[in-house]
Structure 1
């Protein structure tokens, strides 16, 4: 009864916190072979990119990772029971895929079943969602919400997907959950974790460079920022954006923040400037971090100076050696002098 009252209350106040679009995601992962230190199955829950809950087969308990949700004890108990039953069903589905794809349960092999399930609440009040299923990191099928069936990701698994639809008649149930209970859970959580979702953490930026096949590669690493959306780009001469051929991904950090690295290849030009520009909602203005090349002409001047400083003592040594050879007397006096006059020859003085 308390849970029902709490749910109704949350749905009533959600209008204050539910402005804009929101996404609730469940990431499910199962490994075929038990591995020390790795739960055989995990369910991780995200709301607008914030990891707020987790269940694993080691504890067989669901838990909130956001302290503000700790008061939802009855709801958490319900989620635990649901996750325990859900885990059993997913194991059957993993075995189905393994059997069809001719994967063995050999302890020497490591196979992973993954499923991503999400519901979305849009700003205009409409709802949608998606579901994807992968095996060993390769997507095999996805949920068609309009036709209410699973469809193959490739033609190779067409027959398997048809058998999946016949064997597991869960498409309609999943659609109902996606459009109803999943959205209700989202609205329940939003008032409690809005303070986390609305927080803003400024990005830290580090820049570096490396060389590959004669080309200079500039790296810009922005990290520790929240929320997730960010724009990072390299600019030449303060106005020209440099295209990056490397696929850039925004990756999560364990503390709930995010990171991204953008790299570009450039050919250093005399007088050209390069800078990394970062745009984020936590910043009042674009953060610009300049990159300074070691000036090529200065580099050669330094080399020339170093070479000159090296040749002075060498020349002096040769001069002293010759003077002593001219003035020295007696067989008992021996002076050994080794001096390199050039890269091709050396002078050896012995008396």
Structure 2
């Protein structure tokens, strides 16, 4: 199915301070982003403004801010994560979703069919939030309309206007060339780092591996404890004679790079995962072997 959705993370440091970031995706293609300080929508594709007028986009910014930047009393600091969007299936059916989590745990969701908010568990705060949101009938009706109608119309528009961009992305992320033997996947997982900026790269024989089908990254994702994580993987041929290393650059390293090698000194297994935990002042490195083989 085609899908378009917004992933939004807001970190509430205290009752008056928060940071926010949002990213909208058409399948895996980035279409929009939300400014951390102003909740303004930024268009990441030349066709990403299609389907709505400037005034309608401004109204959507307001709705997202009002719904997803509301603080919760008494639990600071906390992280609010939201996933909002819709899917369109080949048979013409559709599905809409609007789910929110607090500190990594399911919290509340919106039932499009019923037009009501539903608590995802029996926690008192979730029940209070559900009842509070359901009091505003005009707002729930607007949410229902945005998901049922606006989201689907936008999705159809983006599929039409963004077809060329999607095809180019498919070429960049294409599978291994025909005839490529079974591969080994090296995985470098960096987690618990703060602040957010980080750079992770793979080195082959000391040289950085260029972007291509061999590389894949999760992007920077939030943890429930206000830190971040990222996973980067590299597909290699088993016993290909090269040496490999994962290189991490982060402000907590004091200007240095953290290098975790994997080369001739270690026997080849079907796969390797390197787990790296970055603290604000210290670093711990852990190596774990994963038996993970990729086959064509």
- Tell me which interval the TM-score lies in, with the shorter structure as reference length: 0.5 to 0.7
User: Taking structure 1 as reference, are residues 168 and 33 closer, same or farther at Cα in structure 2, changes over 3 Å only?
Assistant: farther
User: Taking structure 1 as reference, are residues 202 and 39 closer, same or farther at Cα in structure 2, changes over 3 Å only?
Assistant: farther
Contact 1:60–1:80, Cα closer than 8 Å, also in 2 = no
The answer to whether 1:62 aligns with 2:65 is no
Contact 1:44–1:55, Cα closer than 8 Å, also in 2 = yes
Map Cα deviations across residues 107-141 of structure 1 (whole Å, 9 max, x no partner): xxx32222211111111111211110112222211
SS of the equivalent of 2:123 reads: helix
**Which residue in 2 is equivalent to 1:17?**
none
- How far 1:162 moved relative to its partner? 4.3
Contact 1:119–1:129, Cα closer than 8 Å, also in 2 = yes
Higher relative contact order (CA 8 A, sep 6+): 2
The answer to whether 1:32 aligns with 2:12 is yes
Contact 1:151–1:161, Cα closer than 8 Å, also in 2 = no
- Distance in 2 (CA, whole Å) between partners of 1:77 and 1:69 is 13
SS of the equivalent of 1:69 reads: coil
User: Taking structure 1 as reference, are residues 144 and 90 closer, same or farther at Cα in structure 2, changes over 3 Å only?
Assistant: closer
CA-based RMSD of the aligned residues comes to 4.2
The answer to whether 1:44 aligns with 2:23 is yes
The answer to whether 1:112 aligns with 2:79 is yes
Q: How does 1:260-275 map onto structure 2 within 5 Å?
A: none
Q: How does 1:1-351 map onto structure 2 within 5 Å?
A: 21-33=1-13, 40-58=19-37, 61-66=40-45, 68-69=46-47, 72=49, 75=52, 77-78=54-55, 80-90=57-67, 94-95=70-71, 98-99=72-73, 102-104=74-76, 110-157=77-124, 159-169=127-137, 170-198=139-167, 199-200=170-171, 201-202=173-174, 207=185, 251-252=218-219, 277-279=293-295, 286=296
Q: Which has the larger radius of gyration?
A: 1
- How far 1:194 moved relative to its partner? 1.4
**Structure 2 length as normaliser, TM-score?**
0.54
Identify unmatched segments of 5+ residues in structure 1. Answer: 1-20, 105-109, 210-222, 231-249, 263-272, 280-285, 287-351
Identify unmatched segments of 5+ residues in structure 2. Answer: 177-182, 188-209, 222-230, 236-268, 272-291
**Structure 1 length as normaliser, TM-score?**
0.46
User: Taking structure 1 as reference, are residues 60 and 103 closer, same or farther at Cα in structure 2, changes over 3 Å only?
Assistant: closer
- Distance in 1 (CA, whole Å) between partners of 2:51 and 2:97 is 28
Higher strand share: 2
User: Taking structure 1 as reference, are residues 139 and 253 closer, same or farther at Cα in structure 2, changes over 3 Å only?
Assistant: closer
- How far 1:47 moved relative to its partner? 0.8
Map Cα deviations across residues 201-237 of structure 1 (whole Å, 9 max, x no partner): 235765569xxxxxxxxxxxxx9677xxx9xxxxxxx
Higher helix share: 1
Contact 2:101–2:107, Cα closer than 8 Å, also in 1 = yes
User: Taking structure 1 as reference, are residues 208 and 140 closer, same or farther at Cα in structure 2, changes over 3 Å only?
Assistant: closer
Contact 1:119–1:182, Cα closer than 8 Å, also in 2 = yes
- How far 1:168 moved relative to its partner? 3.8
